[in-house]
Structures are given as C-alpha cells and as structure tokens.
Structure 1
C-alpha cells in the first residue's frame, strides 16, 4: 500500500473499527444440548435481535432462542456503514406487481417511520449508539451522475417521496452542508441517521437478553428442517437440535452456509476504511457540521459518515464476491481495496490527503436473485426468514422484525400487507456461472464509472448492460 498514509497500529482485517472502538463483547455460552422453544431464530444480527425484541414485548411468555455461530452482532450488523436510512433494496416496480402500486408506496412510508422507530427504541431502552439524525446527501460528481440524480428524483416523486422527503439542494446549501470536490448537484433527505453499528448491536442484544430471550453463541446451525406430520420445525446445530413451533432464518450474507441454502442468497462483500480523528483545519475545508450521511451516484458507489469522534468512515465494493459463495476471513481486507477506498476518499475530500488510515475491514451482505428484500413465514412448515437487504439493512431489519412478530402471532396488520411479505424468487445460478456473472457485472460497472468520469453525459451503456445481466 505504498503512498497511503497508515497509522503504526493500522489493522488490516479482523473485527470492524466499530468493535475496535468499544471492544469485542464477552462470548455468551453455547447451546448446552437439545432444547424446545416456541420460536428459534437462526442468526444473532439485527434481524434476529429485532424479531426477538418485538415478539417478547408483544407476548412475554414466549420461549425464544437465538442461535449464533460467532457472537451477536458479529456479521453485517457490526460491520456496516452506519446508515439508519429509509432507502429500500430492490425494484419498486417488482414489489408493486405483488399487491399494487399503493402497497409499494405504503412500504416506503413504513421505511420512513422505521428510522424514527429505531431512534425511539434506543432512547427508551437506554442504548447509546451515537445516533444523530442529520439526514442523507447524495452527490453527483459528473454530468451523467447529475442526469441520473435528477431522473431518480423525478421517479421517486411517483413512489411516495414528497418535497419534504427528498429534494435538490441549491449551490449555497451544498456548500453549507458538505464540501464534496467536483459535486455538480446533490439531493437531501431528512430520513437518515448516523449510528455506531456495533453499539446498536451490543445494546440490542443486552436488552433482548434482559427480556428473557436465550442467546446461544458459538453455536453453528448446519440445517433447518420444516415441521413434519404435525411436529415442530427444527434447527440442527453443532451442540444439539432446537425444536420450535417456528424457526426463523435471519442469516443474511451467511445463508449459503446452511444445508440446502447454497444458492438462495449471494453473499456480497463490502469493505470500509476509517481515518484517524481529523483536526479542525481539515474540517474547515470539508464542513459536514450537520453530520449527514453521504453517498454518490456512481455505479460502484461509496457510502460515508462523519463519526462521533470526527473521523471519516467510507466504504464501497472491493472484491464483491468469492467463488463458491465463500465469505471473508473474519473481516480481512485486501490491500488493493484499501488503496481503492483511500483514493475515493481523497478524490471527494482533497483535504484528507495526509490523514492517516487507522483501520480497514469488510463484511458480507445478502443479495437475492432479483435484488429485492423479503420477509416470509409459512405456518404449515413452521419456517420463516427475512433478509436480502443488499446493503440497505440497518433500518429494514427493524421493519422485518416487527413484520415477523405479526406473522408469528397471526395478526393481520398493515405490516403483513406490505408487498415484500411472502416474496420468493428463483435461486442464483450454479458455479462457475455465478462467479463469472458477478465478475462481469462489476467489471461493467467499473468501466461505466470510468467512461462517465471521462466524457459521459448519459448513463453508460456498460452500466445498462451490467444491470441487465444482474437482474436488478
């Protein structure tokens, strides 16, 4: 990584900076043997924790277990970019086909409200997650991105986004909010808050345990079995079998590790770096006093935040997919990816050129074949799941948890009527087609960004082809 300023204690890999900041939590005990519960949840990330939280709040006598291979919050929940955002993964048109256009608009409005729901719960439960609701800025840094930004804004107006939900900023407001080098135009939405992801995961796990949920860590689930002949569903683990009326799969990017689920969701890798705390003279050039979240309109996009201790954390796709649906080696990040993210950081904020990079890490997220998130429960088999958030999961997990609560309790509500409920899609192609396809898609996206940065005024044909192949 020649030429990149790194601190002497730089750690290339391992846990995320968020856990480095607060310390990795002590490991809870593993499952002590075969057990029976009312609800068993596979996966101790945000989805599993929120589902357990809302079920226990609604019906305190429910016996609930969470089964986690590592520790609660180990995966994407403790490694993400800290966007508590109302953005929702997948095609609105596809979701609308299920239950109509208004149902998709209702889903978007539910996401708006979910941002505040998370904030309210953390306040009520005493979870300090460095939450600051400063909104979200999307910046366009070339003419093609600017055209795409305007087209997306126009499109979103037809899907329930009012002027109060998303708007173009004038040049004065852009400069006042955040100085992004080369920004031609930007939008602002108030429906987003910065969080410290690991603090939210650890705090939520604490609250859930205090409510009486059994969280078993160091417990690998190898297979999930449906109920047969009136029996119970079950999760087969390394320490015994857990039987339950309902088994909820909440494994997101790690779903491929479960028997029979290898092609269900593609594990997509995303990487991050974080700077040292930046001095006041650097912030003078950047601004960012409102601590908004920041994204761009590139096809290989970035996401960034100003942390509570005045660092910049920035992420993007490095090596997006590993052959055979393998995941990262406990967060290890390639030198190439660190260099790429550093170049993006300095391009957007030239004043950071001498700032040292203090940590890098990566995580894995789940991608369905049609790129649309889903939540589902089958009362006949006793099996349910939620996920496929495609990187927009911090808020969506909360909505999923409340929806699974209503489905488990057999309550017909506004949430269970939303169009992502019950959505099922075909599996990903087998290898080597899956690996080859992802490589081609992201090569096309990178080529599209290069073309648009050099001379493009319209969205590149490379990107259009990449979207066509990917099925987005």
Structure 2
C-alpha cells in the first residue's frame, strides 16, 4: 500500500473526455510535469483553453509515489553538461534548480497546498572509505555542498558506521501526493480541465487521439515520463526502472533522539545503488531504493510495484542503518517506475514545426525538475525568450535505447554490477 496516496484524502475520479474537443493546448499526463505546465500557462494567459488528459488519475505515476524529495538535483551528469555546454551551462542549471526548490515551496503556500513542506536540506553519509572519497570528490564539483566530519554527519543523521558526509540546504521533504493532488485542484481553479480515465492512443501534429475522440490543439505536450514507451513509436525513448519504498509507523521521540533528522533532512549515502529516506511530518521513516529488475520491452505493470525480494532488502538495509528499527514493523510498501533516457539526460523542448512539446527523463529527480520543466514549457509555448528557455537542457534529444534483448541484458547487468560493488564496499 502506498503511504502517500492512502493519506491524501478522496481520490474520487474526475470525468473522462466526453468526446472530441478543441483546445489551445493539450497536455498528456496529469503528473507534476503536465500539471506544472498547465499551472504556469493558465497563470500567464488565463484565456487559454487547456485540456489535460490522464489515463488513470492525477498523480497516479511517480508524482504520487516518490520518496518526497523536492531537491535541486539535476539528473544529467555535470561532466556531460560541461563537455556540451561549458562550465557556464553547469552553473546555470544548478542555479535554476536551486531556485526551483524555493519556487515549489512558494506555490504550495500561495495555493494553500498542505504538502508537509520542510526545507531541511539533504545529508549524504559516507560509511566506507570508498564512500568518503566520493564525498570529498562531490564537494569539489558542487558549490552548494559542504563536507561534514564524522561527528557533524552523525549529528544530522545518526546511522551506523558514519565516517563523514556532505550537506546541502537545497532540498525539502514533502508529502508528494498532497502536492500533486493540490496542484491538480489549483489548475482547475484557474480554468484548466483535467480528463481522467482518458488514455492517449497517439500524439500527432495538432491532435491527440483517444478512445473517446480526438482532441485538436495547435500545441500538444507529452508529459508521460516512465509511461512514454506505451505510446506508438516511443518504445525505446525511455527505460522505465522501478524504485521501491517502505515506511514505518510513527516512531517515538526516543528513536529520533538518536537518529536525528531534527530538521527533517532527507538522507542518503554514497553507495552506487541509490537509497533515499526522509522523516515524515508524523514521524515515520520513509525509505526507498533502486534494485528492482528492468522488465523486458520497457513494460510497466501494477505487479511490478511489489518485489518482495527488494522490500526485504530495503528492510535489511534500514535495520543496518538504524539497529533500533530491527523489530519495528513495516506498515506500507509500494513502488513505481522512473523514466531513464539512454544518456541519463533530462530534456524539455517544443518543436515549432509540429507543435509537439515534451519534458522528462528525470532519472528519479523529478519533483523539482518537473517544476522547472513546466515553467520552461510555458515560456516556450508562449514564445517568451527567458533565462529558462536558454538553459542547456532545452531542446536536447536523447538517443534511443538499444533494441531488445540488448536493452534488457545491458540494464540488468549494470544493476547487478553496482549491487556487487556496494556489497564489496568499493
């Protein structure tokens, strides 16, 4: 069961598309990307007819399932950005992402979205000598990181075997489903119509085909992230990789006295196979990580949200980090797919010839990045030259993934390799 969606209130479905319609902008996907795009467009041009089409319900995908980090992390490796756009491009993206964290918090307040916002930053622990070396290298590359001593790191996050770590203030812990559901309400208040239970069968110039009829619009935005491979011709555009999460019951003050996270810092460590956690507003510990297999053909299925082996591994890791949790039950366990492009480079853009726009490839860092994408797409649609439309990720086109079975073999081989390296403490 997904903790976030089980505590978000009513999920009463919105009406589906009743038949063919005409709009100024059609957006496919009612997650963060689609809803932020609709929000900024409607705010800038209230007269626009904006239709958001969603196969399931607003927040069904990663927007309602993630670990609750609204961070300044940008998925494209800084070294790749630097090679393609120079040091100035790296700095511009970093500054834009840092501002994005505060922008999400500002909108949450302005629109009365109670998403348990707490900007406590992120502490990333080093728990082996190899991890400590990676922490030291990370500080050299990012000017928002400070290197922590063992005592400083353990004071923020009292896990076992802490040798040091890093800290950045540029992250807020949130309740992600409350954010996305509140955002859906906010865009409807501004005149946007969300059609749930309305799958897109095909996106083309000037139109989105659905089972209920065609939505005609001069601008069509694809905001489908990990579900992009379901669209015709997009099977190799994105690899959906599953990330799984567990949650404890509310924990007593005696636990938090040792575990720390007093400012609700989000936390991780420098292992290669990503883990992530947060202290929730009601004092649960939410903890997730990668490790689930990639499924042949970029398939996504509800059954893939539950991998007992991965849940058991997360439970073991949690108890190893915090031995006091060794006998504490897990109350919620869930998962979902994140979208990974072949070059691990997120992108946003609008093809003015076809009117087709897109954003995605967030590699699991989409809570903040999707807001930046929405603001950028709004400027692109409205033909506004801005600092956002000049950022280096605008217009980027990732290469397609290799065909199967090479994709399945390659992705799962890398997963096993990094799992081995972490076990060997390399």
Pair in the same fold by TM > 0.5: yes
Q: 2:102 aligns to what?
A: 116
Instruction: Give unmatched runs, 5+ long, in structure 2.
Output: none
Q: 1:247 to 1:330 in 2, by over 3 A?
A: farther
Write out aligned runs for 1:406-421 (5 A). Answer: 406-421=379-394
**How many residues are paired up?**
426
Separation in 2, partners of 1:140, 1:173: 12
**Cα deviation, residue 97, structure 1:** 4.1
Scaled by the length of structure 2, the TM-score of the pair is: 0.98
User: Is the counterpart of residue 377 in structure 1 residue 363 in structure 2?
Assistant: no
Separation in 2, partners of 1:133, 1:331: 32
Q: 2:421 aligns to what?
A: 448
Q: 1:76 aligns to what?
A: 62
Contact kept, 8 Å, 2:150 with 2:162, in 1: the verdict is: no
Contact kept, 8 Å, 2:244 with 2:305, in 1: the verdict is: no
Separation in 2, partners of 1:116, 1:284: 29
**Cα deviation, residue 335, structure 1:** 1.2
User: Is the counterpart of residue 283 in structure 1 residue 245 in structure 2?
Assistant: no
**Cα deviation, residue 24, structure 1:** 4.9
Q: 1:213 to 1:180 in 2, by over 3 A?
A: same
Contact kept, 8 Å, 1:45 with 1:77, in 2: the verdict is: yes
User: Is the counterpart of residue 154 in structure 1 residue 140 in structure 2?
Assistant: yes
Scaled by the length of structure 1, the TM-score of the pair is: 0.88
User: Is the counterpart of residue 201 in structure 1 residue 187 in structure 2?
Assistant: no
Contact kept, 8 Å, 2:62 with 2:338, in 1: the verdict is: yes
Contact kept, 8 Å, 1:30 with 1:219, in 2: the verdict is: yes
Separation in 2, partners of 1:320, 1:370: 19
Q: 2:91 aligns to what?
A: 105
Q: 1:5 aligns to what?
A: none
Q: 1:18 aligns to what?
A: 4
Q: 2:24 aligns to what?
A: 38
**Cα deviation, residue 25, structure 1:** 1.4
**Cα deviation, residue 109, structure 1:** 0.4
Contact kept, 8 Å, 1:270 with 1:320, in 2: the verdict is: no
Write out aligned runs for 1:267-306 (5 A). Answer: 267-306=240-279
Instruction: Give unmatched runs, 5+ long, in structure 1.
Output: 1-10, 227-232, 457-472
| Farther-moved stretch of structure 1 (168-177 vs 425-434) | 168-177
User: Is the counterpart of residue 29 in structure 1 residue 15 in structure 2?
Assistant: yes
Q: 2:195 aligns to what?
A: 216
Q: 1:432 aligns to what?
A: 405
Q: 1:237 aligns to what?
A: 210
Q: 1:145 aligns to what?
A: 131
**Cα deviation, residue 152, structure 1:** 1.6
Q: Equivalent of 2:373, from 374, 393, 400?
A: 400
Q: 1:179 aligns to what?
A: 158
**Cα distance per residue 1:174-194 (max 9 Å; x no partner):** 232220111111111000000
The DSSP-based 3-state class of the residue aligned with 2:424 is: helix
Separation in 1, partners of 2:303, 2:217: 30
**Cα deviation, residue 98, structure 1:** 4.1
